[in-house]
Amino acid sequence: MIGTFASVTKEVTPECILAIKTYSKQHGKLALEHYQREVKALKRLDLKDANFAKEHHIVYLYSIHETPSSYQLFLTWYDYNLRLYLKQPQTTTRHTLAHSFLQQISQGLLFIHSHGIIHCDISPDNILVDSNGNMCIGDFGCSRMIYEKDQPVQNEVIGTRWYKAPEYLFGYKIYAPSTDIWSLGATFTELLIGKPLFQGNNDLEQIGLYVKTLGAPSKQVQKVYTLHYLFEDRLIII
C-alpha cells in the first residue's frame, strides 16, 4: 500500500502481525514533518498496549526505526482501509455499516481530542478496518495540537480536500475539534449515499460546492475566525 509520503508493508511475527510504515527520506522535509507529527501524536496518546488502543479505536504504535534512507513506524496491521473495505462483499446494509463507523470513530475522536490532538485528515483512506469490521483511526501524519497555530511547510497540503472543513479551504490555520467533526460527517454521509457528497477538483471548486449547498459564510463568522487574506479573494471568485 502506497500513500503520498509513505508505503506500508505487512510483516508476520510469532507474536503479532505488523504494518511497517516507511517514510522515504527522498521526499525531504515534508516526509520528515509527517513522520514527526505521527510519532508525536501516537506517543502523546500514551496507549498502554495494542488491546487498549483497539478498545479506543486508535492504531497502535509498537516502535520506530530510522535507516539511512527512511523513517519507519511499526504499527498494528489492519486488513483494509475503509475505502478498500467497502469494495469487499458485505453482509450488512449500508446504513448498518455507516452506524458502526459513526459509533466507533466518534469514540476514537473523543479519545484523541481529550488528549489535545486534532487528526486533521479523517477520510475513508485513513480509517483502518479488520476482517471483523473493527475500525480504528490511522495515519496521524497531518495531526495538530488543539488550537495550534499552523506554520505551514511550503507546498504542504493538510487534509483530504473532499473531507476538509470549509474554514481551512478559506485559509484558516488554527485547528479545533470541529475540523475532525466535519470530516467525520462527510465520511458518514458518503457511507449512506455511496459517494462523496462534495467532489471538487480543486480548492476553489470545493469552496464553490460548499457555498452553493450551505450558503456563504456570514460577516460575523468571517470576523470571529479572522480568516486568512485568501478568504475574500476566494469568495469573490465564487
Active site residues: 121
Who contacts 220 (Cβ-Cβ below 8 Å, separation ≥6)? none
In single-letter form, the type of residue at position 196 comes to: P
> Are the beta carbons of 198 and 209 closer than 8 angstroms?
yes
Who contacts 75 (Cβ-Cβ below 8 Å, separation ≥6)? 18, 19, 20, 21, 59, 60, 61, 62, 138
Place of cell 454521509: 189
